[in-house]
Amino acid sequence: MDFQQTIKKEVELKGVGLHSGEVVKLKFKPSLPDSGINFVRTDLPGKPVIKADVSNLLEQSRELRRTSIGRANAEVHTIEHLLASLFGLGIDNLLIEIDGSEVPGMDGSALPFFELLENAGIVKQDVRRKFFQVREPLFIQSPDDATLVILPHPNFKVSYTLDYSPFYALRGNPPSSPQHLIINFFSDGEENKKIFREEIAPARTFCLKNEVERLRKDGLGKGANYENTLVVDGDKIVNNKLRFEDEFVRHKILDLIGDIYLLGASLKGYIIAVKSGHWTNIRLLKKIEKQEEKIREAGVPSFSSGYPFKTVLDSRDIQEILPHRYPFLLVDKILELEEDKRIVGIKNVTIDDYFFQGHFPGHPVMPGVLIIEALAQTAGILMLSKKENRGKIAYFMGIDKGKFRQRVVPGDQLRLEVKVMRLRKNTGQVYTRALVEEKIVTEANLMFALG
């Protein structure tokens, strides 16, 4: 599956949070390419947006049995089952409106989310998917010997061993221990969807019967019951039946997949897990992110040696030219490029853009200086796309005759046009204008220096 995907139509569901006990409503909406997965807390002032990303992870102890994200005073908890379903469906971009602090537990698995979003329809977008290829082994081990190792691999593969015997020796009999399962995911999106739906999505969360009271004292499990949580009493399941003989290890893989999806890119690597949980999953995720940053920083200044000149560029091509990254990369696509002459880019303005959180949040308007910045980045792509400029940086040196003619709001598509006025070896001057629906909203002459 080479291209990013979102859902075709808006859908919603309502349920109870496993830990909070709150009744929460979710509304899922299609989102633009490269926007990622974003939660909107519609119950809070300003409707803050929280991107499902490693940078927004909330720290947790080893005992806290969920994955949470937050920004400022806005948080969303227990997101792992939902994120796992997005992985299974290959959904890259989605806007999720939520009117509470916790994603509903539903039946304790990813299946209700998977089925709802699958029925909404999945549509391909015209931007390539992001992948992160693991280049070197990474290792995590917790104080209670939970272990995670990730190795280079051409696809995504998970091997999980569930053996809580020593850990549960003082708490009661472990749940059907040990269990082991290997799951291979491939590049074929439909095959992955089938594997996830049949092998992983239905597996439900679980706990020991003698843990229930302690969890309640810790303020957790307020919405849990025998229908949405498998309660293990010795070698029996209380008031329920297993969907798989090894349902526990399948659910641990589900949690792992959901946590890894916070990377914001599809992972290519082989994960070997032994009794891992959210605490170790998240620490591995942060190590992966650091490895990605190291690789990205090493590759940002220039094209790879075999990179051909292109006249149409997607987001990946743009990031190979410019050093800018989210949230400050303001060009989504290049539609036209004539070397030394002109360039046309696109910026899709969405409510997910970070600046709307503080710039007239009640009446969102894109700041004029950021429209200028988007034009400057487009001009930078034109200048740095030349072979002799590879590896250089375009510095914004000045602005002349800048005019702002019209507001730009969420839902607008900015057409960013740049025409060369004067271009020398290390300096350049360009005329720029930004349009919405063929009407000029901003125009300016910009000056650059290359270094």
Q: 381-397 in b/e burial notation, b at 16+ Cβ within 10 A?
A: bbbbbeeebbebebebe
Q: What is the DSSP string of 158-195?
A: EEEEE--TTTTTTTS--SS--EEEEEEE-S-HHHHHHH
Parallel, antiparallel or unpaired: strands 11-16 and 23-30:
antiparallel
Q: Which two tokens stand for residue 366?
A: 């894109």
Return the sign of the alpha-carbon dihedral for residues 257, 263, 266, 269.
negative
Catalytic pick among 153, 278, 324, 363: 278
Residue with tokens 């302690």: 214
Q: What's the first-to-final CA gap in the chain, in angstroms?
A: 38
**Contact present, 47 and 74 (Cβ < 8 Å):** no
Q: Which two tokens stand for residue 242?
A: 């297993």
Helix residue spans in 348-426 (DSSP H): 368-384
Q: What is the DSSP letter of 102?
A: B
Contacts of 287 (CB under 8 A, 6+ apart): 138, 140
**Contact present, 221 and 241 (Cβ < 8 Å):** no
Catalytic pick among 180, 251, 359, 363: 359
**Contact present, 92 and 117 (Cβ < 8 Å):** no
Parallel, antiparallel or unpaired: strands 230-233 and 206-208:
parallel
Asked if 278 is an active-site residue, the reply is yes
Name the residue among 145, 165, 161, 174 with its Cα closest to residue 249: 161
Parallel, antiparallel or unpaired: strands 37-41 and 49-51:
antiparallel
Query: Distance between CA atoms of 31 and 38, rounded to whole angstroms?
Result: 9
Query: Distance between CA atoms of 94 and 5, rounded to whole angstroms?
Result: 9
Query: Distance between CA atoms of 31 and 12, rounded to whole angstroms?
Result: 15
Cite the active site residues: 278, 359
